[in-house]
Protein backbone atom coordinates (compact mmCIF):
# COMPACT_ATOMS: atom_id res chain seq x y z
CA UNK A 1 0.00 0.00 0.00
CA UNK A 2 2.90 2.35 0.66
CA UNK A 3 4.17 1.86 -2.89
CA UNK A 4 0.79 2.90 -4.31
CA UNK A 5 0.75 6.10 -2.25
CA UNK A 6 4.30 6.92 -3.35
CA UNK A 7 3.39 6.23 -6.99
CA UNK A 8 0.40 8.55 -6.75
CA UNK A 9 2.55 11.29 -5.23
CA UNK A 10 5.13 10.93 -8.01
CA UNK A 11 2.44 11.05 -10.71
CA UNK A 12 0.84 14.22 -9.35
CA UNK A 13 4.21 15.91 -8.80
CA UNK A 14 5.23 15.05 -12.36
CA UNK A 15 1.92 16.33 -13.72
CA UNK A 16 2.32 19.63 -11.89
CA UNK A 17 5.91 20.01 -13.11
CA UNK A 18 4.84 19.22 -16.69
CA UNK A 19 2.11 21.84 -16.60
CA UNK A 20 4.39 24.40 -14.96
CA UNK A 21 7.15 23.85 -17.52
CA UNK A 22 4.58 24.07 -20.31
CA UNK A 23 3.31 27.46 -19.19
CA UNK A 24 6.71 28.92 -18.29
CA UNK A 25 8.54 27.37 -21.28
CA UNK A 26 11.39 26.16 -19.05
CA UNK A 27 11.73 22.76 -20.72
CA UNK A 28 15.51 22.69 -20.42
CA UNK A 29 15.38 23.03 -16.66
CA UNK A 30 12.48 20.72 -15.90
CA UNK A 31 12.88 17.92 -18.46
CA UNK A 32 15.61 16.03 -16.53
CA UNK A 33 13.59 16.34 -13.31
CA UNK A 34 10.43 15.08 -15.00
CA UNK A 35 12.35 12.23 -16.64
CA UNK A 36 13.87 11.29 -13.28
CA UNK A 37 10.42 11.20 -11.66
CA UNK A 38 9.08 9.00 -14.47
CA UNK A 39 12.06 6.68 -14.01
CA UNK A 40 11.47 6.55 -10.27
CA UNK A 41 7.84 5.65 -11.00
CA UNK A 42 9.06 2.89 -13.34
CA UNK A 43 11.26 1.46 -10.60
CA UNK A 44 8.32 1.42 -8.18
CA UNK A 45 6.13 -0.29 -10.78
CA UNK A 46 8.89 -2.88 -11.27
CA UNK A 47 9.11 -3.54 -7.54
CA UNK A 48 5.34 -3.90 -7.33
CA UNK A 49 5.35 -6.26 -10.32
CA UNK A 50 8.06 -8.42 -8.74
CA UNK A 51 5.95 -8.63 -5.59
CA UNK A 52 3.12 -10.01 -7.75
CA UNK A 53 5.39 -12.90 -8.84
CA UNK A 54 6.07 -11.55 -12.34
CA UNK A 55 9.82 -11.29 -11.95
CA UNK A 56 10.84 -10.90 -15.61
CA UNK A 57 8.51 -7.99 -16.34
CA UNK A 58 9.50 -6.29 -13.09
CA UNK A 59 13.19 -6.72 -13.85
CA UNK A 60 12.73 -5.23 -17.33
CA UNK A 61 10.88 -2.24 -15.87
CA UNK A 62 13.57 -1.62 -13.26
CA UNK A 63 16.34 -2.12 -15.84
CA UNK A 64 14.88 0.38 -18.30
CA UNK A 65 14.33 2.91 -15.55
CA UNK A 66 17.89 2.56 -14.27
CA UNK A 67 19.19 2.87 -17.84
CA UNK A 68 17.28 6.13 -18.17
CA UNK A 69 18.66 7.47 -14.89
CA UNK A 70 22.27 6.44 -15.59
CA UNK A 71 22.61 7.24 -19.30
CA UNK A 72 19.78 9.40 -20.65
CA UNK A 73 19.48 12.07 -17.95
CA UNK A 74 23.24 12.87 -17.85
CA UNK A 75 23.20 13.07 -21.65
CA UNK A 76 20.39 15.64 -21.50
CA UNK A 77 22.13 17.61 -18.75
CA UNK A 78 25.62 17.80 -20.24
CA UNK A 79 25.10 17.88 -24.02
What is the overall mean pLDDT for the chain?
92
Asked if residues 21 and 29 have their Cβ atoms less than 8 Å apart, the reply is: yes
Q: What is the pLDDT of residue 77?
A: 86
Asked if 35 and 68 touch (Cβ cutoff 8 Å), the reply is yes
| Count of other CB atoms within 10 angstroms of residue 5 | 9
- For 36-57, the pLDDT digits (tens) are 999 999 999 999 999 999 999 9
Domain count, the chain: 1
Could you tell me the residue range of the domain that residue 68 belongs to?
2-78
Global pTM reads: 0.87
Return the closest-CA partner of residue 49 out of 36, 32, 64, 61.
Answer: 61
Mean pLDDT of 15-31: 90
Model pLDDT, residue 1:
65
Provide φ and ψ at 52, rounded to 5°.
-90, 15
Amino acid sequence: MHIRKLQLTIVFTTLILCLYSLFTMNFQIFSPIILFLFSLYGILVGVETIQKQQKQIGAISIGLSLFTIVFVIPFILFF
